[in-house]
Structure 1
Amino acid sequence: MNSEKMLISLDETVERERLIHQSVYAKKLRPLLPSDAFEPDPSKLAILLINLGILLLGWGIADYLDRWPVYLLWLYLPLAAIMGNSIIVLLFSSHDLMHGSIQKKSRLTYPIAFLGLSMLLMPPTQWKSLHNLVHHNNTNSLADPDRNYLYQQPDTWGKWIQNLFVPSVEVNPLWLMVGMAGSWTVHNFRNVSSVLLFNDKSVDYVPAAFTVSPKDRLTIALECVGILGIHLSVLFYLEFNPIKVALAYILPIAIGHAGAMFYIYTNHMGCQMTGINDPLINSASLRVPKIFDLLHFNFSHHTEHHIFPSINSDYYPMVQELLEIHYPDRMNLIDVGQAWRLLMQTPRHYQDEVTFTDSSGTMSVNCSIAEHYKS
């Protein structure tokens, strides 16, 4: 009986590891979804604008912080947390906007995306190239700029910082806290500098360099200037007052970037690399409290998003149900707490496509989430 169970387990593993391209999943599941799922949902545009308004309101209230008694300044902290969540919402709503699931392409798409991504320091032209084109077509492969570094890659400053900051069995808790707030900025700087300074695939301080056209390169440079102008305008409005800047600028951005990075870390960094773009193997979806799915456009359903990048995010749960019916036990569906523990218990460099190792190359850990936790 034990031998039979072992054979069944082996068969399940072999079946799971047989890679299937994203287009195969999409072709099979699309006829099973209602046509409304693929129609833009402009109501989410209002949510994006409301969260821009929350930031403006927060800065407006912060203008009076220098008149508050010191012992009452803590009353601003809940608003700072709400502003931080608004930055997360701006990222995810701008993300959906640029994928075309909020409105059909119009002249308003670009300026709204620019404003939405400005607090994330992300030029929208770079986002379109890096995320929509490169990341989605090469997810967690050698060509994906968002993957973990390979152990064999040179020990550049980019690799050193990522090893210092990201959740892993090696990370120092204090540096992890710094990394949660700072990794998004490092990620942006790494890719922006690679494109603006070199625009060459030989750049070695990024996990995988990508290139853009000369026109897009110039546009990205101008967008960086515009984003810098927005941030300086906020700081000027806050009069560079240390209390105002700390509570209404640094703290909300730190919270927002940390929240975004929590999702991003768990999306792919605990998964194996794949030469074929198989979202059920190279991506992970999380089980989170319903309030977070409501606030964050079901962003926890990340595997589902990689199968249908432009689908209305309200239908991600339906896609998940179909995946569980047609591809049972195949996808990486994991409780949020388990996902975080998995990252903290494993190293963060790829020794090969299916093996993690540490910075010294002495550890060897299977990348498969299914190997560690059963969904």
Structure 2
Amino acid sequence: MISQAEYLKVLRPLLPELAFKPNSQKLFILAINLLILVLGWTIARDLDRWSIEWLWLYLPLSLVMGNSIIICLFAAHDAMHGSTIKQPMSRYLVSFLALALLWMPPTLWKSVHNHKHHTETNAIGDPDRMYLVGQNDTWGKWIQNLFVPSSGVNWAFLALGMATSWVVHTFRHITSILIFNRDDVDYVPAPVVVSPRKRQAIAIELVAIGVVHLSILAFLKFNPLAIGLGYILPLGIGYAGVMFYIYTNHFLCPMTDVNDPLVNSVSLKMPKIFDLLHFNFSYHTEHHLFPSINSDYYPVVQELLQTHYPESYNLIPVVEAWQLLMQTPRHYRDEITLTDSLDRESVICPCAVICPETKVFANDAKSAFAD
């Protein structure tokens, strides 16, 4: 395996300097989608006046609003990596506004995502990895087993999980930090411990986010119909879209001690319309190599990877990636072996087979385990 730093030595000189300059135009896209949400809530205020046979006409707007929720996360994601705004206070305010709709305090996101996930991707200390089968049977692990796409998941629970797993993910880390803030918390895949100052900031931000959501509900006049179609449904659609990307980013990959983005991350072949809408988030290996790059240049990075590292690069059609998730279990037995919660299955991580360099390691490990 090759470390991220070694890839950068080869690839960084081949990229134009413009790729590393902030692209503030994406803030305009964020503003448009925030206006879409406000428009949707404004229309939803009067849904109780609609005849019941016409309520279905609001559903396409719910879908568009759900997409706006996805864009809010990805806009905040890029901002917090410094690819759209360099000024810290402006970056913080934009990130808070966008992440508030996902119940994600920006200080928590920075601690979990920027500081831990990106530096220990799919390693034992990655808070976003799958659970080890040998970890304690906690409520967090139970929910993953019940809701996450796998060979054993129930379709009804999967549908519920797609809409709610983002909330579970956020709730796990918020409670782990605010209640305990220790490195022995076992209901998260890997605990994150923060300083007292950051812990206080997370608590304050969470209260502020609660005020934002309460204000939205008050704007909707606490009307159950307006809340259902204009608030809960768009959030559920948005959270499902976000989780779809998150599941395919790393859940097909082996665990790694060396942070090798070509081994522990997956890029997807997506319809171009989704790449356009979602800031090229499907280019996830590229993002892990260059987190702060302007995402418009991810296709350029992809071309370089296909030229310089064609045998190691995981690029999978989106439908195939989902099928692989649904055909494999979701717990790690060891670095390259997946199993179910009862440790009955034994499946090599699909991307350990796709990547020839890792395939040798995977086969050796499997033989050693069999012995």
TM-score by length of 1: 0.93
Q: Report the equivalent of 2:278.
A: 296
Q: Report the equivalent of 2:130.
A: 148
| 3-state DSSP of counterpart to 1:317 | helix
Say if 1:370 and 1:205 are closer, same or farther in 2 by CA, change over 3 A: closer
Q: Report the equivalent of 1:3.
A: none
Contact 1:40 1:104 in 2 (8 A): yes
| 3-state DSSP of counterpart to 1:219 | helix
1:305 matched to 2:305? The reply is no
Q: Report the equivalent of 2:337.
A: 355
Any idea what the Cα deviations from partners look like across 1:134-190, whole Å, max 9, x if unmatched?
000000000000000000001000000011010000100000000000000000000
Partner Cα distance (2:253, 2:352) in 1? 10
1:264 matched to 2:246? The reply is yes
Task: Choose from 241, 246, 251 the match for 2:233.
Answer: 251
Q: Report the equivalent of 1:43.
A: 25
| 3-state DSSP of counterpart to 1:29 | helix
Any idea what the Cα deviations from partners look like across 1:79-114, whole Å, max 9, x if unmatched?
111100000000001000000000212422111110
Q: Report the equivalent of 2:151.
A: 169
Alignment of 1:157-306 (within 5 A): 157-306=139-288
Partner Cα distance (1:204, 1:369) in 2? 27
Task: Choose from 301, 309, 331 the match for 1:327.
Answer: 309
Task: Choose from 4, 19, 26 the match for 2:8.
Answer: 26
1:75 matched to 2:50? The reply is no
Task: Choose from 89, 105, 108 the match for 1:107.
Answer: 89
**AA paired with 1:257?**
Y
Any idea what the Cα deviations from partners look like across 1:171-222, whole Å, max 9, x if unmatched?
0000000000000000000000000000001000000001111000000001
Contact 2:311 2:355 in 1 (8 A): no
**AA paired with 2:16?**
P
Partner Cα distance (2:222, 2:45) in 1? 11
What's the CA shift for 1:62?
0.9
Partner Cα distance (1:120, 1:99) in 2? 18
Partner Cα distance (2:234, 2:48) in 1? 18
Gap runs ≥5 in structure 2: 357-371
**AA paired with 2:172?**
R
TM-score by length of 2: 0.94
Partner Cα distance (1:269, 1:106) in 2? 32
Partner Cα distance (1:192, 1:282) in 2? 25
Partner Cα distance (2:169, 2:57) in 1? 32
Partner Cα distance (1:160, 1:370) in 2? 26
Contact 2:117 2:128 in 1 (8 A): yes
What's the CA shift for 1:339?
0.3
Q: Report the equivalent of 2:119.
A: 137
Contact 1:332 1:370 in 2 (8 A): no
Contact 2:69 2:239 in 1 (8 A): yes
What's the CA shift for 1:234?
0.8
What's the CA shift for 1:368?
3.7
**AA paired with 2:160?**
V
| 3-state DSSP of counterpart to 2:118 | helix
TM-align CA RMSD: 1.1
Partner Cα distance (2:337, 2:316) in 1? 19
Partner Cα distance (1:329, 1:48) in 2? 37
Aligned-pair identity in percent equals 62
Partner Cα distance (1:193, 1:83) in 2? 28
Gap runs ≥5 in structure 1: 1-18
Partner Cα distance (1:105, 1:166) in 2? 37
What's the CA shift for 1:255?
0.3
| 3-state DSSP of counterpart to 1:286 | strand
Contact 2:150 2:328 in 1 (8 A): yes
Partner Cα distance (1:366, 1:107) in 2? 45
Count of residue correspondences:
356
Partner Cα distance (2:186, 2:316) in 1? 33
